[in-house]
Structure 1
């Protein structure tokens, strides 16, 4: 611990830059405040200091802090009175409470009011910096999870008009299989069979899962889509299974997990091949026993939901490589639904192109364009590595470019006949890697893979032999976000 007399000297110490997070210090002791702000400034934070409740309220609105360091006793009131304002629905700012009195009652009240953590004065500045970093990291992960939940909630309201378009034999067979499987959800008291939906990226596995849910007796129940590839690794267990209050730092209240939220409906585990091995074992237990135990809980909760999983990965190959549990695969693979790639669907390409053109024209209030015969022929010739998703994005771009006139082959931006094979080939003899540094070679390979699959991260990760989360990290590292299709 450092005394106030030592704080100014300690404030000169450097620290590892922590980014440009904004820290608001609400503290009426000027000597202590100077030491803290100088230390955090040197660590790369943007700091602002308020000495009263009134100054704090003004700074909160203007400065928009990412974290607040809050003294309990201030000249014009109790600092804890700010906590409800900082933890409102409109504003959620993590708060670290500072108190010179070390009273247990103060700390307990602060945590009940939603404080992320508390520290007693005199404060160890190194410990303070570590606590700030931990709180900011947890808040960032929570924000990602909350965004994922709100996005899924929004999607559920838009899912009434779900279609699996296509007149090809393979698509008619897929629709018939979905209809038959949907009806099985209402057969007596037995839980419906698990379904594994397989297919290349962009083939519409999520559409099939939603139609499977809405075509049967579960249509009015919850449909929860869980993207296993995008769940934060640090919070994946709590996100899937839920947590009790105080189970970990930042768990300020009990919360149901996504599997529990699907009670009575359907839980769709998309990108199941990206789920870590330890979570695979726990998921298997949930599916087998139909119970879930929240993180930090001592009792299990029953769960009645239909489990549907989707993947573009070769799960048997992953099992052989020790990357996926065989017992979970056999449990999921009770019934398999295969989504065909677009290149095997014949004239469905033209049907879907017209459908997407009409859809995009309505979205952007444009005249629906017609397709020139040469454009339709080019669409039919193309190999479609990104499948239906790639087609949809390509047509959206063409509708915006053509500005009401008919869509020609030049509006599509497809490679010339024969170019697709050259782009997708592996003419590695001419690769310039030998003259590159390791970082340069890695960046070149990732950019090349993304270009081949038109920015599809999942497909690029599969081709590079890494997980989707690993590839996303390296895309950020090399500044290649402009190369990906969100």
Structure 2
């Protein structure tokens, strides 16, 4: 998820912000300051601001200024900080569109809590609006969810090439959604009324693949008791999606190339060729450029299918989308399981954000479904996530901790520093309790007042082996 963005409008300018240190404690934040309302409106009109803070000092045209901001963006939450002049009540500000009101003298004490609460509500509303748009809009990219720059670039490319009859190559890691792209291209093309025919080139044995693609005549080979139409003919007039095309046997690559060049095919055992009109959308998770250089994939076929290439980013490069996708999958799993929509603890968000996701969106979906099935309440905690996810994310946070020790902690964000200190505390606590109780996990869990499974998970996260403390105990006793 991207960092929250706040605009502050204060006639005294940045130097008048005595509460700036509180905002700094909530890092990572993007904060924009201005002393002029008009500039604040221009800033808030930029895409993606989560909150506005309007500081009204003596002499400011209080409600008029608030009205101008509300009119510019009715959906932007506005926290009003004002000096109590006795003329305006809290209800006046709320009635004119403020999300909340805070007296200037209460800033040091209350601002941090108000910002956290308002930002949380703002991000939740933004997520719900995105989900509603994804559900309500007619086919645009309804099978996709994500607003990160890499995905917006993919959407833009699909829109530009879908209606043009060119063959397309989709590349990306397993689980990134290559078939979703192919279906989006088909649905936005002039071939939408014709068939969309997918075939996984890596899932069909080589001995059957030729017949599956090109069809055969009766008696063409042993067992060919009747004519069979191949999938290329089935897709006539429509789109043929060749998933994992890099797995296509070399001999069939030449035959497919002829179909693309001549727009005709010959069934196995046939004497005559049959005209076909298909659009090829191919996909692969392998490095097909290297295969071409190594001679394991035909260069001429590669040039034929690589007219337009759509490269899908892995989930780890879609940071803005991970939280949104997790919320979506939790909501969908909740409906399917008859549960309330799951929420995520702050620590869970940190783990999801910093895991590498080698299985990409498909892996995230499975992890969230598992968590929804296991969680005992409405909040999905770290204990509900698989061990490998927690361990890998923990290693990232540990590496971050080491970097912070060597660098300047003030440059790190609030959540990163919090996670670092929590990890250091956990490691020290676990080491001491294991040492004192000689590696007895059951006794340690009882003393720590946590489930034994949770303690095992924490020990694994911090690479602490209970057996080592039992060995240390035995050595001490023998001495």
TM-score normalized by the length of structure 2? 0.52
Q: Which secondary structure does the structure 2 equivalent of 1:358 belong to?
A: helix
Change (3 A) 1:298 1:421: farther
- Tell me the residue number matched to 1:459: none
- Tell me the residue number matched to 2:108: none
1:415 aligns with 2:390: yes
1:242 aligns with 2:242: no
Q: Which secondary structure does the structure 2 equivalent of 1:244 belong to?
A: coil
Q: Which secondary structure does the structure 1 equivalent of 2:281 belong to?
A: strand
- Tell me the residue number matched to 1:269: 242
Residue correspondence of structure 1 range 312-323 to structure 2 within 5 A: 312-323=285-296
Whole-Å Cα distance in 2 between the matches of residues 339 and 249 of structure 1?
Answer: 42
Q: Mean Cα displacement is larger for which, 214-223 or 310-319?
A: 214-223
Residue correspondence of structure 1 range 371-390 to structure 2 within 5 A: 371-390=344-363
Kindly state the Cα deviation for residue 404 of structure 1 after the two structures are TM-superposed: 4.9
Decide whether the 8 Å contact of 2:172 with 2:285 is kept in 1: yes
Q: Which secondary structure does the structure 2 equivalent of 1:239 belong to?
A: helix
Kindly state the Cα deviation for residue 161 of structure 1 after the two structures are TM-superposed: 8.2
Decide whether the 8 Å contact of 1:196 with 1:335 is kept in 2: yes
- Tell me the residue number matched to 2:159: 179
Whole-Å Cα distance in 1 between the matches of residues 162 and 310 of structure 2?
Answer: 12
Decide whether the 8 Å contact of 1:164 with 1:175 is kept in 2: no
Tell me, which stretches of 5 or more residues in structure 2 are unaligned?
Answer: 1-138, 399-479
Kindly state the Cα deviation for residue 201 of structure 1 after the two structures are TM-superposed: 1.2
Whole-Å Cα distance in 1 between the matches of residues 229 and 141 of structure 2?
Answer: 29
Aligned equivalent of 1:229, options 195, 202, 221: 202
- Tell me the residue number matched to 2:144: 164
Whole-Å Cα distance in 2 between the matches of residues 241 and 289 of structure 1?
Answer: 14
1:214 aligns with 2:194: no
Name the structure, 1 or 2, with higher relative contact order (CA <8 Å, separation 6+): 2
Decide whether the 8 Å contact of 1:353 with 1:392 is kept in 2: yes
Q: Which runs of 4+ in 1 moved over 4 A?
A: 159-162
1:302 aligns with 2:275: yes
Change (3 A) 1:261 1:404: farther
Whole-Å Cα distance in 1 between the matches of residues 356 and 226 of structure 2?
Answer: 50
Kindly state the Cα deviation for residue 217 of structure 1 after the two structures are TM-superposed: 2.2
TM-score normalized by the length of structure 1? 0.51
1:204 aligns with 2:184: no
Post-superposition Cα deviations, 1:229-257, rounded to whole Å, max 9, x if no partner, equal 00122111100100111111221111111
Decide whether the 8 Å contact of 1:203 with 1:341 is kept in 2: yes
Change (3 A) 1:289 1:390: same
Decide whether the 8 Å contact of 1:366 with 1:403 is kept in 2: no
Kindly state the Cα deviation for residue 164 of structure 1 after the two structures are TM-superposed: 1.9
- Tell me the residue number matched to 1:347: 320
Residue correspondence of structure 1 range 111-190 to structure 2 within 5 A: 162-184=142-164
Q: Which secondary structure does the structure 1 equivalent of 2:197 belong to?
A: strand
Considering only aligned residues, what root-mean-square deviation do their CA atoms show, in Å?
1.9
The structure having more radius of gyration, on CA atoms, is 2
Whole-Å Cα distance in 1 between the matches of residues 177 and 337 of structure 2?
Answer: 24
How many residues align? The count is 257
Decide whether the 8 Å contact of 1:368 with 1:404 is kept in 2: no
- Tell me the residue number matched to 2:339: 366
Tell me, which stretches of 5 or more residues in structure 1 are unaligned?
Answer: 1-158, 185-191, 423-486
Kindly state the Cα deviation for residue 365 of structure 1 after the two structures are TM-superposed: 2.5
Decide whether the 8 Å contact of 2:351 with 2:394 is kept in 1: no
Post-superposition Cα deviations, 1:18-54, rounded to whole Å, max 9, x if no partner, equal xxxxxxxxxxxxxxxxxxxxxxxxxxxxxxxxxxxxx
Residue correspondence of structure 1 range 76-95 to structure 2 within 5 A: none
Aligned equivalent of 1:252, options 225, 247, 252: 225
Post-superposition Cα deviations, 1:346-382, rounded to whole Å, max 9, x if no partner, equal 1200111111111222222322211112111111111
Whole-Å Cα distance in 1 between the matches of residues 370 and 390 of structure 2?
Answer: 15
Aligned equivalent of 1:337, options 294, 304, 310: 310
Post-superposition Cα deviations, 1:98-117, rounded to whole Å, max 9, x if no partner, equal xxxxxxxxxxxxxxxxxxxx
Decide whether the 8 Å contact of 2:141 with 2:155 is kept in 1: no
Kindly state the Cα deviation for residue 162 of structure 1 after the two structures are TM-superposed: 4.4
Decide whether the 8 Å contact of 2:344 with 2:381 is kept in 1: yes
